[in-house]
Structure 1
């Protein structure tokens, strides 16, 4: 629909939404409104509010939308391959910004940023992924590697392979990280057994296992805080 001057009604809505964002910031806007703002450039000639709301409903929240596979995104009517690629760009930018908050910084003084980085990378993954963070002698993050991808409830990992990579990086310590796609970060029995084997494999090489983080949908479990390390 258009106004008396032929201007689409959604054009005025876009101006008003941009003005709200400019004056009050992102905290004043709902998730779907922030997504609308992002979609304005990708879809310049259409009211994108219904699409933004549908995407949030389909994938849960902004992070879920950005993390969704391209093939899932394009199943939503109105999401072209180009729009889906733009949404994946949003995910990549978010991950890069989170990484910048921890790379080359001591993890002890930037622990919350480290957890945020891990959550950004893993909380919306639909299958289990096992990563290892490699730290230098000053406990600075020097590398983050995906060691294994698996099913919805299992990602096989071999302690000797992790130790091999740690030696290649000349790492003095490691932090294990994996996600539970179920959303519940409670460590499983197999998680506990594997972590114990990892610590035993690393010990002869003076590689310290600082922690094992399990990323859930809303919260994160720390083996160290739980007394499991």
Structure 2
């Protein structure tokens, strides 16, 4: 945040709005054409045609206007590893990447929340045990960068279809208590035939 409370988007917008000394000499920034070409590729070939950093660029176009977002996208991926891990990172860690301020960090978390809800919808009503990759991707995006350990339970019916996904306990950075009686009680309440127990290991070094 700036000293007057402006976020990074306002800062860049204000800088862009400063009148040039000689209007005739002003050229469009190189990334303007790049943005158009990237959007065209996305529209024509679909998201699978784009690597993670370009898909992240597309997200950042709207969040940080009038700025070359390719270096920011690459810096985020260099810090966190994958697109899912970028979106799963806490707000405080996102802001440690140059170019990401408080407003953009929160906007990325809004996108994360929408993506997690979509992922939950995709595995709900499907046979979870037959699609481990999708299940692991969902768990990773939901928990990978939590700064405290979570004990999460996926409740399944007799066809191994997801009934509910619940965080049963939240612990410290390296410990979370597990109470078998509470796990069994909740499984009975939901009439679950099977459960998947998941917990994370908070990352301390980046």
Cα separation, 2, equivalents of 1:160 and 1:78: 47
Residue 108 (structure 1) shift: 4.2
Q: Is the 8 A contact 2:85 2:141 kept in 1?
A: no
**Residues matched between the structures, number:** 183
Task: Please give the secondary structure, in 2, of the residue aligned with 1:177.
Answer: strand
Runs of 4 or more, structure 1, over 4 Å off, are 1-5, 108-112
Task: Please give the secondary structure, in 2, of the residue aligned with 1:56.
Answer: helix
Moved more, 128-137 or 3-12: 3-12
RMSD: 2.8
Cα separation, 2, equivalents of 1:118 and 1:3: 53
- The alignment's TM-score, normalised by the length of structure 2, stands at 0.75
Gaps of 5+ in 2: 1-15, 17-22
Q: Give the structure with the larger helix fraction.
A: 2
Residue 5 (structure 1) shift: 6.0
Cα separation, 1, equivalents of 2:129 and 2:85: 29
- The alignment's TM-score, normalised by the length of structure 1, stands at 0.68
Gaps of 5+ in 1: 183-229
Cα separation, 1, equivalents of 2:92 and 2:178: 28
Q: Give the structure with the larger strand fraction.
A: 1
Residue 81 of structure 1 corresponds to 102
1:83-132 alpha-carbon deviations (Å, 9 max, x no partner): 11221122222212221122123334445433333233233444422111
Residue 159 of structure 1 corresponds to 180
Higher normalized contact order (CA 8 Å, seq sep 6+, divided by chain length): 2
Task: Please give the secondary structure, in 1, of the residue aligned with 2:181.
Answer: helix
